[in-house]
Chain A
Amino acid sequence: VLGVGLAGYPLQGADRAAPVLLLVAAVALVAAVVSLVWTPLPGIVLAALAVEFVLRELDAHVLGWHTVLYAAGLLLLCELIAWADTLRSRALVAPDVVGRRAGNMLLGVLAGGGAAGLAVAAGSIESPNAFVAGVAGAAAVAALVGVVWSLGRRHA
């Protein structure tokens, strides 16, 4: 349901890009179905839905809070696909594991939604100099990647 919602949202109000969006949405949905019934393909689902959203964004501007919801929805969908793969085995799952995992997932999605909101808010800051804005954006991206890398190294 979530996948259909995410794939269908960019199609609303799409004009020239509608056929392409439809194709990409179909790819995303097929990948989501394959993920649920056979093998997880969250990368393909994520890439297809993101491409669809970017195409829609290029075609017609999307409202900021819609972007936040869409981004949080993407994260939730990918997490659900990953979780479904964990539960696909014939393992007996304790009920408290399910409850806690769902709670933690919700926490992660809320944090992700907050981060998306921050990104949207940061994007709305008007900069008189395009070069400075570009450098600031690149620095922010590099800083984020650096944080993730250093944390990942700690666990490796």
Chain B
Amino acid sequence: MFLAALFLGRPDVAALGAPFAAFLVLALLLSRAPRLAVTLSLGEERTVEGHHVAAELDLTGEGTLHEVELALALPHGVELDEGSERMIVRIPAGGPLVIPLELVPWRWGAFRLGALAVRVRDRFGLIAYDAHVAGDLTLRAYPRPERLRALVNPLETQPFAGNRVARVRGEGIEFADLRPFVAGDRVRRVNWRVSARRRELYVNEQHPERNSDVVLFLDSFAEVRRERESTLDLAVRAAASLAHEYLERRDRVGVVGFGGVVQWLLPGTGRAQDYRIADALITSEVTLSYALKDVDVLPQRTLPPQALVVALSPLLDERSMRALADLRARGFDLAVVDVSPLPFVKLPPGSPDALALRLWPLWREALRFGYERLGVPVVEWKEGDPLAQAIEEVTAFRRYGRRAFA
């Protein structure tokens, strides 16, 4: 503009460029490099998915910061209850600006929070300073628990005390049988009514109360996802609920995450084990892997003898299906909850895959039938159905179905 004014000899043309030059000079003169401290704090570090977590964003600047643009980098699974992840605020001199936030982890998981991008503009918006803040907070959102009144009862119990009535006879409360008195029997176990009728001493036998070992086998080879839900999400919720309920009944519970990455947690009991399992489950994810894996990759102690193995699988990957058959062949008491991927698949009308989608349920039914012939109860659990229903179906199969296939 100025050069044009010089060439044309028209000072009025220079006047067009003068405001821009003046603005530039003014803005550069008044601009200072900002100093800003940003801290995100969480009201709680552990929560249940779907629950609100209060958080605060503390911004402390040196002098007045006229325009601070913040972009919170929230991980997949966490969102703000209200407002936007991007905000533009002004930080007054002399005091921190505290922005209250309401975070909602809509999915279980361990989330790294606190990462954000900051852009500070000068008072005229001419110069911008960018910075990235790395996240160093972890929010653990545990799966929503589902109350289960009944559980799949293990066929065998372990020698430790628990809440299950063992099949064997010994010291306990539950009446089992009568037998003639032998030397060494305690007098308090004598059944006097029967002894009087039979004219010889008879003693009562009881079933002892024992615990059992339960291994939750989580198939994480593959999942079917639809927006915010996936088969793995459901499986982890079910695993957490089952683990909690079995631990409440004083059983020893372990977890095996069988997938691209194999994880395991040795069976244990008590509240601490409940937390350990929850912490292990929320790190579950589907990792793509083409490696052939079978149950031999698991340490022996993860699968104790006579343990009940409850598998939660969408039955999508050949490797997990083979592993389940292998477990059954090794004599484990196995029950499979088939986390059905069918509700997650929606085809547009007229899709050429429609025929395949109609054949898929038939193929899956044949697959379940194959397991049932091995004596393994396989129940289909669909999104929205209560887990208790699936558990009840397993129990019913174990009560009646096994006989039908025998």
Contacts and interface: CB of A to CB of B under 8 A. Distances in A.
Are both chains from one complex? yes
Given A104-B123, A144-B2, A111 B26 contact: yes
Contact of B19 (A57, A116, A151): A116
A8 to B, nearest CB: 17
A67 B8 CA distance: 16
Interface of A: 50, 53-54, 57-58, 61-62, 64, 67-68, 70-72, 74-75, 78-79, 82-83, 86, 89-94, 96-97, 100-101, 104-105, 107-109, 111-120, 122-124, 130, 134, 137-138, 141, 144-145, 147-148, 151-152, 154-155
B14 A91 contact: no
Q: Is the interface of B mostly helix, strand, loop or mixed?
A: helix
Interface in B10-28: 10-28
Given A50-B16, A115-B18, A148 B24 contact: yes
B263 to A, nearest CB: 38
Contacts of B31: 155
A70 B87 CA distance: 34
Contact of A96 (B5, B13, B28, B90): B90
A35 B198 CA distance: 104
B113 to A, nearest CB: 19
A112 B12 contact: no
A59 to B, nearest CB: 12
B66 A115 contact: no
B56 interface: no
A92 B2 contact: no
A54 B15 contact: no
A101 B89 contact: no
A119 B89 contact: no
| Most B CB within 10 A of own CB, among A91, A100, A114 | A91
Nearest to A62: B12
Contacts of A90: 84, 86
Nearest to B13: A54
Cβ-closest 4 pairs across A and B: A123-B11, A112-B19, A115-B22, A151-B28
B371 to A, nearest CB: 49
A110 B185 CA distance: 107
B63 interface: no
